[in-house]
Amino acid sequence: MRAVTYLRLQALIGWGLLTVAVSVAMAFWTGLPGAFRWGLPLILSAITIGTALVEPPIRYRLFWYAISPAEVDLRNGWLILRRTVVPMNRVQHLTVSQGPLAVRFKLAKISIHTAAGEITLEPLDHAEAEELRIRIAALAGLSDDV
Amino acid sequence: MTSEESTTDTVAAINGKRLHPAYLIIGAGRTLRAMIPLILLSIVQFPPWLLIPLGALVVVGAVLSWWRTKYSIHDGVLRVSSGILSRKVRTVHARRITAVETERGIVQRIFGVWGLKIQTPGDGDSAAVSLPCLSAAEAETVRNTLRSNTPAHTSTADLNPELAAAKSQPATEPLAALGTKELLITAVTGTSVPLIVAGLFTVWNRSRELLPGNWQDYLEHELFGRGRGTVIILVVIVLLSAAVGVLLTALRIANFTLQREEGRLRISRGLVSQRTGSIAVDRVQAVRLVDGFARRMIGYTSIEVEVAGLTGKDENQRTLFPLVKQSLAADLINRAIPELEWQPQPLLPIPRRAKRRYLTVPTLLGLSISLLLLWASITWWGFGWSLPGWLLTLDLLPIALPAAVGWARARDAGWALDEHTLVVRSRNILSRYTLVARRNRVQITTMSTNPFQRRADLASLKFDLSSGRSAELRHIEDDDAGRLLRLVGRRHPDVPAEHPGRVGAQCSAQVGAQCSAHPGAQGPAHGGAQCPAHGGAQ
């Protein structure tokens, strides 16, 4: 459940701060029509509640990935569900990254880069992400020596 | 210097050579052109004698940069070193080269030199190495040396005999050449708005130079003073700029020829400035037929190639052939790139029940715009705006137009999958695109579903190519989407394309390599319960 809490906090920090900032601005900006002064904070609050309370558990429940010698298979999303397949021989390089919040939660994000772009798996347990990086690298034939 | 001449004992090597001396002049000219604002400033601001040290600096700079720039090819690696103070060495492996382009503008023609540009996969300038000035012979040597190091012909072995025969035939005969009539049609239909604007500026600037001052005053007075002649003058200007735009386009694509030599496609074009592009056929990920609105009306289409590294650049660089009859396009593609092994077949349309979904979003958008317009018009009316009432119907246009576009998109969308290729046809607003991709070269396949699609068993697909571009297929049966998801991108497809199974069935057919790939099934949750790499299905 670390992941869900992490996603919630992320949403709160992003949308929550924006909501507070806009609400304060609207409170002082008396020149605007009432529809704006009430509507904008309300819409933003709804988005914050949606992304912080509703979205994370759904996202968590629907997320899975599968690694095989042939391909990386990933499903993510919540309202719009995405299923992505990358053939293993198309993998060019991998990056594991952590933001400051993710470090506290021991979570990480792994990006799989191909010639046509990247797909990201997140949030993963940091140790799991490292293990996954090594395994995909081995399957994709990316050797560690430079 | 020690190594001026290329060694003759090995064909596949060039020792450190300098660029053609014409680079001294062309390089200095480029520097000067870049410095025009500075020069103007110095003329206005500073005493004129400052130009002398400035000029000397440019000359010294040009000489030094010519002296320091050297290129060599050894063991299939091109090495270009340059830089006056900080030394810069760029190396490109011949195997990584996707396209080679030679070009020469007017100045380069005067000196009889060519510019050579070598493209590798990747974006931006870092993916291209250019040798700005080479004599024709030198350019040919570089190309040949690089080519002899490319394994362009290695894949011939596993191809069928007739294909090998097609590849080995002498390549002197062009596959296609653009005739005068086609040139005109291409120029007229292919002149883009930016080109017309460029033409407009050209015409305006020239007219300012040519017309006497009082004429210019008269023009500006008429234009901005809403005189009688305004309309006529505007029409003339637009027509003139359109003509200039057409002319510019025509000059760019005149003499367009497409040749096939060994494992390469050679494309040459241009009348004033000439360009010759060479693309390794093995690097062609897909072919795209672009039916612009006007061209489609008269039954023509143009063909582009998808090659990594030739993304957001000049679209002419991607053009395989600018204009061909729609009925002959497939034939030309198969003659130019038999390796694609495209067997044209009728495309599968979007399911009838899904077609309305193409209209939903545009219509909703249009509806909101219409409502806004209506609200605005009525408000203005209230303020005494004297518009006739029937004009209100114009506010409904934003619904009608998107709906029409949505309908056309639904009608034009389609797909096909055969043993070697994936064909996806789509339409933006006016143009129609048909992508013929090598099935096993697709890099990323994404299937996405929104809640409404899930309720109706529909799905959308997106295919990303290494050229950085992609093709989208929206609202197809989710069985089909799952099938495509399984089959596209695989190097060795385990299941024949005609296999009529559901997604789940396909998965279990190849479950040895696949774990838990059922869209509906609860897959392994993340955080510990990751499925084993070689394990069976869950």
Q: Please state the three-class secondary structure of B248-279 as a single string.
A: HHHHHHCCCEEEEECCEEEEEECCCCEEEEEE
pLDDT, mean over chain A: 89
Positive or negative CA dihedral for B199, B204, B210, B215? positive
Say if the Cβ atoms of B464 and A125 lie within 8 Å. Answer: no
Give the model's pLDDT for residue B154. Answer: 42
B197-218 burial: b if 16+ Cβ within 10 Å, else e? eebbebbeeeeeeeeeeeeeeb
Give the model's pLDDT for residue B10. Answer: 44
Q: How many Cβ pairs within 8 Å bridge chains A and B?
A: 122
Question: Are the beta carbons of A91 and A113 closer than 8 angstroms?
Answer: yes
Give the model's pLDDT for residue B393. Answer: 76
Distances (CA, A) of B270 to B5, B130, B252, B319: 32, 19, 5, 13
**Nearest-by-Cβ selection for B444 from A2, A70, A117:** A117
Say if the Cβ atoms of A83 and B513 lie within 8 Å. Answer: no
Contacts of residue B98, defined as CB under 8 A and 6 or more positions apart, other chains included, come to B119, B120, B121, B279, B280, B283, B307, B308, B309, B310
CA distance B468 to B277: 20
The alpha carbon of residue A61 is apart from the nearest alpha carbon of chain B, in Å, by 7
Give the model's pLDDT for residue B172. Answer: 62
Give the model's pLDDT for residue B409. Answer: 93
The alpha carbon of residue A10 is apart from the nearest alpha carbon of chain B, in Å, by 18
H/E element, B303: strand B300-307
The alpha carbon of residue B468 is apart from the nearest alpha carbon of chain A, in Å, by 5
Q: Residue A51: how many CB atoms within 10 A of its CB?
A: 20
Q: What are phi and psi of B76, to 5 degrees?
A: 75, 15
Give the model's pLDDT for residue B415. Answer: 95
CA distance B499 to B504: 12
**Nearest-by-Cβ selection for B533 from A2, A68, A75:** A68
Question: Are the beta carbons of A108 and A125 closer than 8 angstroms?
Answer: yes
Say if the Cβ atoms of A83 and B515 lie within 8 Å. Answer: no
**Nearest-by-Cβ selection for B527 from A119, A125, A135:** A125
Specify the higher pLDDT residue, B32 or A126.
A126
H/E element, B480: helix B478-487
Question: Are the beta carbons of B223 and B233 closer than 8 angstroms?
Answer: yes
A-interface mutation test, from B310, B422, B443, B450, most A Cβ less than 10 A away: B443
- Residues 291..320 of B with a Cβ closer than 8 Å to A: which? 308
Say if the Cβ atoms of A83 and B446 lie within 8 Å. Answer: yes
> Strands, E, within B163-227: which ranges?
176-177
Provide, as residue numbers in chain A, all residues whose Cβ is less than 8 Å from the Cβ of B468.
116-117
Give the model's pLDDT for residue B228. Answer: 57
Rg, chain B, Cα only: 29
Give the model's pLDDT for residue B351. Answer: 93
Q: Which residues of chain B have pLDDT under 70?
A: 1-12, 122-127, 149-172, 191-200, 202-230, 311-316, 382-389, 491-538
DSSP A35-49: HHHHHHHHHHHHHHH
CA distance B111 to B114: 9
Average pLDDT over residues A128-143: 87
Using alpha carbons, select from B94, B103, B108, B79 the residue that is nearest to residue B144: B94
